[in-house]
Amino acid sequence: KAGVTQTPRYLIKTRGQQVTLSCSPISGHRSVSWYQQTPGQGLQFLFEYFSETQRNKGNFPGRFSGRQFSNSRSEMNVSTLELGDSALYLCASSSNPGLALYEQFFGPGTRLTVL
């Protein structure tokens, strides 16, 4: 099976702009979680989607949003970018966290730089 893919891999934006990141989970996986990783904070949970529904959300401002499509692909959007949004954004898929053992399969991430 192909792994989790994320596009784009690298992105440079300026403050105030918005950005959309994409994630394609492993075939058959219906749960997609998003994390932000920075050197100072480590991996911080953003949100999780399952069958097109957001089931869980971390402590991030409303500028961070996401959605999931019927084919389980997911996008996250960050509006009004700030310098502090510079980070590696990771997407992870799982077959069904409610039943399985929560093993998450991570993509390579999107490196976002905000200037």
Chain residues that interact with other proteins, rule: CB under 8 A = 4, 31-33, 35, 41-43, 45, 48-50, 55-56, 58, 90, 92, 94, 97-98, 101-109, 111
Nearer residue to other proteins within complex by CB, 24 or 31: 31
- CB count in 10 Å sphere of residue 65: 17
Beta carbon nearer to other proteins, 14 or 41: 41
Residue number, 42 or 62, with CB nearest to other proteins: 42
Tokens of 58: 């971390």
Close Cβ partners of 43 (under 8 Å, ≥ 6 residues apart) = 35, 36, 37, 90
Residue among 3, 9, 54, 52 nearest 27 (CA):
3
Task: Give the shortest CB-73-to-other proteins separation in angstroms.
Answer: 16
Q: Whole-number minimum distance, CB 78 to other proteins, in Å?
A: 19
Chain CA centroid to CA 64, Å? 10
Q: How far is the CB of 16 from other proteins (least distance, A)?
A: 27
